[in-house]
Amino acid sequence: MDTFESINSRRSIKSFDKNQKMTKNEITKLLEFAILSPTSYNIQNWRFVIVTEQVLKDKLSELSYGQKQVSESSLVIILCADLKSWDKNPERYWINIPEEPRKALVASMKNSYDGKSELQRDEAMRSCGMAAQTIMLAAKSMGYDTCPMKGFDYDKVSKLIHLPDDHVISMMVVVGKATKPASSRGGQLPLSEIVFENHF
């Protein structure tokens, strides 16, 4: 499937085949695509909690106000981010480049994020948003469907997955084989309303 086709055919699916299991290899492949998503300073601040166990998916469905695509999916990915990744041995984000530019990048990164909690959170959401789209398009190319989700109790899900204090949850993406197609598109705004040439 080419990129245009994945973009066109990706839809938010609400009914999945409960008996469909993803293999470990498929899950790894999907996550290997996810980590090719771009992040500012190559900070790779996303952390992915993957859930395949039925009991846990059922619990997550309950915490998603009963949304059944969660319990029916083959895989739930909870996209989290480490807000302090800029301060955790950041040299490893640039391991392949010479020491001098690596030191300069790390210094610039620390200077950029240190003490700026709003920016740290913005970066978490930007990185996870990018990764979520990569996951959804890659899954589509692998023959799977997805639904991005924010409709769940963030506090309770945080507790359930033992989210560390310096991490946040951005969103979930559920993955599976659709049993029903998505309803027709809600309607896209015209480009004339949302695109501005050079300035508003």
Ligand X SMILES: Cc1cc2nc3c(=O)[nH]c(=O)nc-3n(C[C@H](O)[C@H](O)[C@H](O)COP(=O)(O)O)c2cc1C
Binding site for ligand X (CB under 6 A): 11-12, 14, 67, 147-151, 171, 182, 186
- Phi, psi for 136 (deg, rounded to 5): -65, -40
Q: How far is the CB of 100 from ligand X (least distance, A)?
A: 40
The whole-angstrom separation of Cα 107 and Cα 56 is: 41
Write down the least CB distance from residue 49 to ligand X, Å.
17
The least CB distance from residue 152 to ligand X, in Å, is: 7
Integer angstrom CA distances of residue 59 from 19, 108, 129, 160:
18, 42, 24, 9
Closest to ligand X by CB, 7 vs 104, is 7
Dist CA 31 CA 65 (whole Å): 27
Nearer to ligand X, 70 or 83 (CB): 70
Determine which helix (DSSP H) or strand (DSSP E) holds 149, and give its type and residue range. Answer: strand 145-149
Least separation in angstroms between residue 48's CB and ligand X is 16
The residue at minimum Cβ distance from ligand X is 151
Minimum CB distance to ligand X smaller for 101 or for 151: 151
